[in-house]
Structure 1
Amino acid sequence: MAKIVKPLSDQQLLRYSRHIMLPNMDIDGQEKLWNSKVLIIGVGGLGCAVAQYLACSGIGKLTLVDDDKVDKTNLQRQVLHTENNVGLNKCDSAKQSLQQLNSEITIDTHTIRLTGEVLLQTIQEHDVVVDCSDNLTTRNELNLLCFKTKTPLVSGAAIRMEGQVATFTMDKDQPCYQCISSMFGEQELTCSESGILSPVVGVIGSLQATETIKLLVQIGEVLSSRLLMFDAVTMSFNEFKLNQNLTCSVCSK
């Protein structure tokens, strides 16, 4: 069955006019965003930054997944959560803020951690998955299920004063997240243990949102087979080429 495309209203054409003015976006590109569905795993520092820009950009449907609650220590960097929402589930808190930014879009929430078949089915219902989680186990499972469904995965991470972004299109002969995560040590650093400069998650989250929009509209070059590293200390970006691991348990078969 052909996908039903919802056209933009006159008010939406005005609202998103600064997007539409871009030659490689135009009305067609904005309509693609309006008819897209994006799954965001984690609504912490990265997830808040990603979600607010995707909501403002007119993504038709956002699905937020997080089983955590807002803590006072989150307020330093998780910009969708307010003082009044401390103790509230992060999905519910973020949804309140996002609806004030854009009341036209659909926002679904899952306040439990999704795994296995439920996560697989949820991924299949979306066009892009944005990984804003904070643990290697979740990232590896997301990667595996995105590879199975051939759903593009936009991965981001931030700690201390540094961060990284990569996009995995799940195309043939392209690396997946497992290709690089297999090189990581078993020890996982967290913000509560190592600290995080608040604007760094904003930088990385903004880059993830940019990659997501480019994937959906099919404009520009995404970070496929490339890892972009950001260092706030020196205010520098470095790019590294990613190669497929020929012994990868996910994508080499």
Structure 2
Amino acid sequence: MNYKRITESVDIELLQHSHIVIVGAGGSKQLILNLVRTGIGRLTVLDIDKVDDTNIVRQGYDQADIGTYKVDALQEKIERINPNMNYVGITADFLAMSSEEIDSIFKDADMFLFLTDSFKAQSFGNLLALQYQTPSLWAGWYAKSRTAEVFFQIPNYTPACFRCAVSSRYKAQEKEVINISSQCNTIFHSALLDSYIGILILGILHRDSSDNTKESVSFFKGLLNDVGVLDWNFLQLKVHPNGGNPLFDKLYNPLGTYAQNFMACWQKIEPELKPNYKTDCPDCKGRLSQLINTNESYE
């Protein structure tokens, strides 16, 4: 692989020694391939689904992939990009895995991505992120695909967990199972969100680059720190003027309805403390920052 045209943006050696675990290989298909092109050295992708004919127009798989597990179809494409890539595709449901199986997959990763429509998978991912104290990112589209969200949490940097960010969703799911449909997602929706996610991944991986790191990685080295994005770790992206999101209406109504198209809004997420729950957030207990670099447990 010839990386000479991107060495002014990324630290190739850093990326080649990075391991990312990704849950969900649907809309993230192109993101995964682009991570390979950018120099990520090791990828583990979990998805239980096979490619069907609807995935051709929405997710970028090929006709020849129909009937093949998505993680296997990805392997063929990855090998054509970088035959030396360290890639593992897993078709087992990680919600049904033993603690030993989970440990073998997640323990040594540098970052987790949870990119599914399944609330159970996304919420279980939060427990894993806290258990392994690993930088993690969640992303997806809301119903009708007019607004998307990206949330990330990083040990030592961000104070709140995924459950803190979407606590109302947890409460709604306690009353009834709510399935989020990606029925309106076109390939352009996937490409747009994947690009935002990819930029954030590179920023997160470069966050600890020292001042002595060569100047060529200055773009991603300072991406999160320089603009304070680490304090604003919940991104909502609106792609339709009638996005149905009151946050955008509140912030951008002075601009007029049609000026609200393609807007991104960052939010600062604080730990969910009493009285939002009877105690504190059941997952991180409002102590995410305090527990980092200690031997204390989240139990």
- Is TM-score (shorter-chain normalized) higher than 0.5? yes
Question: Partners in 1 of 2:13 and 2:23 — Cα distance?
Answer: 24
Q: Tell me whether 1:17 sits opposite 2:4 in the alignment.
A: yes
Instruction: Quote how far apart the aligned CAs of 1:74 are.
Output: 1.2
1:132/1:156 contact within 8 Å kept: yes
Name 2:263's counterpart in structure 1. Answer: 236
Name 1:101's counterpart in structure 2. Answer: 81
Instruction: Quote how far apart the aligned CAs of 1:181 are.
Output: 2.7
State the TM-score, normalized to the length of structure 1: 0.85
Q: Tell me whether 1:177 sits opposite 2:142 in the alignment.
A: no
SS of the residue 1:248 aligns to: coil
Which structure: larger Rg? Answer: 2
Question: Partners in 2 of 1:251 and 1:95 — Cα distance?
Answer: 35
State the TM-score, normalized to the length of structure 2: 0.72
1:155/1:208 contact within 8 Å kept: no
Q: Tell me whether 1:189 sits opposite 2:222 in the alignment.
A: no
Corresponding residue pairs, total: 231
2:153/2:233 contact within 8 Å kept: no
Map 1:97-246 onto structure 2 (within 5 A): 97-115=77-95, 116-117=98-99, 118-159=101-142, 160-171=145-156, 174-184=159-169, 185-186=172-173, 187-192=178-183, 195-218=184-207, 219=221, 220-221=223-224, 223-224=229-230, 225-233=232-240, 234-246=261-273
Aligned AA (1:141):
F
Aligned AA (1:212):
I
Instruction: Quote how far apart the aligned CAs of 1:188 are.
Output: 2.7
Question: Partners in 2 of 1:196 and 1:65 — Cα distance?
Answer: 21
2:158/2:233 contact within 8 Å kept: no
Aligned AA (1:221):
L
1:62/1:107 contact within 8 Å kept: yes
Aligned AA (1:17):
K
Aligned AA (1:241):
K
Name 1:5's counterpart in structure 2. Answer: none
SS of the residue 1:174 aligns to: coil
SS of the residue 2:5 aligns to: helix
Question: Partners in 1 of 2:281 and 2:36 — Cα distance?
Answer: 35
Instruction: Quote how far apart the aligned CAs of 1:229 are.
Output: 1.0
SS of the residue 1:19 aligns to: coil
1:66/1:91 contact within 8 Å kept: yes
Q: Tell me whether 1:38 sits opposite 2:20 in the alignment.
A: yes
For the structure 1 residues 172 and 16, does the alpha-carbon distance in structure 2 shift closer, same or farther, using more than 3 Å as the test? closer
Name 2:39's counterpart in structure 1. Answer: 58
Q: Tell me whether 1:250 sits opposite 2:298 in the alignment.
A: no
Question: What runs of 5+ residues in structure 2 fail to find an aligned partner?
Answer: 208-220, 241-260, 274-279, 288-299
SS of the residue 2:224 aligns to: coil
Name 2:54's counterpart in structure 1. Answer: 73
For the structure 1 residues 16 and 68, does the alpha-carbon distance in structure 2 shift closer, same or farther, using more than 3 Å as the test? same
Instruction: Quote how far apart the aligned CAs of 1:20 are.
Output: 1.1
SS of the residue 2:267 aligns to: strand
Instruction: Quote how far apart the aligned CAs of 1:104 are.
Output: 2.5
1:150/1:171 contact within 8 Å kept: no
Question: Partners in 1 of 2:112 and 2:158 — Cα distance?
Answer: 20
For the structure 1 residues 54 and 173, does the alpha-carbon distance in structure 2 shift closer, same or farther, using more than 3 Å as the test? closer
Question: Partners in 2 of 1:170 and 1:202 — Cα distance?
Answer: 28
SS of the residue 1:221 aligns to: helix
Question: What runs of 5+ residues in structure 1 fail to find an aligned partner?
Answer: 1-11
